[in-house]
């Protein structure tokens, strides 16, 4: 059973029983709000949200990124499963899988961000969430609902940080603006 996080809350990612996580998946899901059509019916719009994972070293320098234009990290430990350009379908619309064991030792923090590549605001998106899943057994470890609808086009979702005790996920939920992860780097810097 997962833990529902609010902005600023953290959860240790040490497995029950004291084991450590080896593979996690960050899932992003969303639906586009239906708009009234020309003749009064409801019309579904296409909204292209993009999930990205930014990899930072101990000095908080960006060392790699995984997004729709680079689906795998340089060390191969982080992989984006593909770009969903509409939000259609059930469950996670985009996923990023992280092999924590294979992750380069200089990587200390992973930051997950989402942005509206097509520029629509989050006011046009509903049922948006990110979640962290233990890939070895499918158990949801943590969920963060992206419920802050508004004029922003991006959100810094969460970070996963490595320390001596293991990995910790912190829900961030900071609103930002931008079409790609590069536009979000100033907003991300305040959370490292």
**Distant-in-sequence, close-in-space partners of 25: CB < 8 Å, separation ≥ 6:** 92, 95, 96, 97, 98, 132, 133, 135
CA distances from 27 to 52, 58, 63, 67, 134 (A): 11, 25, 22, 13, 11
Report the candidate in 133, 124, 13, 45 with the shortest Cα–Cα distance to residue 81.
133
**Bridge partner residues of 143 (DSSP):** 4, 131
- The whole-angstrom separation of Cα 116 and Cα 157 is 13
Gap between the Cα atoms of 113 and 188, Å rounded: 9
Whether residue 76 is predicted with pLDDT greater than 50 in this model: the reply is yes
Residue spans per domain, the chain: 3-35+43-189
* Closest-CA residue to 180 (of 61, 62, 69): 69
Question: pTM score, two decimals?
Answer: 0.83
Q: Give the residue-averaged pLDDT of 75-88.
A: 77
**Average pLDDT of span 160-167:** 85
Token pair recorded at residue 180: 């790609």
- Tell me, what's the pLDDT at 15? 61
- pLDDT per residue over 110-163, tens digit each? 999 988 888 888 788 888 887 888 888 888 877 777 655 678 888 888 888 998
Architecture label for domain 3-35+43-189: Sandwich (2.60)
The H or E element that residue 133 is part of is strand 125-134
């Amino acid at each position: 059973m997962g833990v529902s996080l609010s902005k600023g809350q953290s959860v240790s990612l040490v497995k029950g029983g004291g084991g450590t996580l080896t593979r996690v998946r960050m899932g992003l899901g969303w639906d586009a709000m239906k708009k009234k059509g020309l003749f009064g019916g409801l019309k579904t719009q296409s909204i292209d949200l993009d999930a990205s994972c930014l990899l930072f070293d101990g000095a908080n320098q960006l060392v790699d990124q995984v997004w729709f234009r680079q689906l795998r990290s340089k060390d191969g430990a982080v992989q984006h499963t593909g770009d969903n350009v509409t939000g259609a379908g059930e469950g996670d619309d985009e996923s990023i899988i992280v092999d924590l064991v294979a992750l380069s030792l200089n990587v200390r923090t992973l930051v997950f961000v989402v942005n509206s590549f097509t520029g629509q605001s989050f006011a046009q998106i509903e049922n948006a969430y990110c979640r962290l899943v233990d890939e070895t057994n499918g158990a949801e470890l943590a969920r963060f609902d992206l419920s802050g609808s508004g004029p922003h086009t991006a959100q810094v979702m969460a970070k996963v940080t490595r320390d001596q005790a293991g990995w910790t996920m912190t829900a961030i939920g900071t609103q930002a603006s931008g079409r790609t992860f590069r536009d979000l780097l100033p907003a991300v810097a305040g959370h490292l």
